[in-house]
Structure 1
Amino acid sequence: MAFWLLYLAQEVAQGYVNEELESTGLHYADRHIVSFMLKEFLFVYLFVFGMHSAQ
């Protein structure tokens, strides 16, 4: 259950990040790299927060 919530939050954030990055006029490859880094940061942050709150 927690995994699916984490996945859903990650996908929602990814969509938001993609929309915001498109408005910056960055090259597609640069947008992809930035969105990937933000998505991974969010995943790790939510995972650590979830593990911490589960204890």
Structure 2
Amino acid sequence: MALLVRLASTDDLSEIVEALLTAADAKEPTVPTLAARWRTLARDVGDALDSLPVQPQ
């Protein structure tokens, strides 16, 4: 499956990754399987961000 995300910057997507990880931490005590899914999603998005070429400033 593919996902197309249009954001102003990669910083916005980094914030989404952080939000997923924060939500996973909060959900862990009650629904650990969902927390694990959110962590996997955050890790996959983070890996995709890391693979992007660095823009010259």
TM-score (norm 1): 0.49
Q: More helix by proportion, 1 or 2?
A: 1
TM-score (norm 2): 0.48
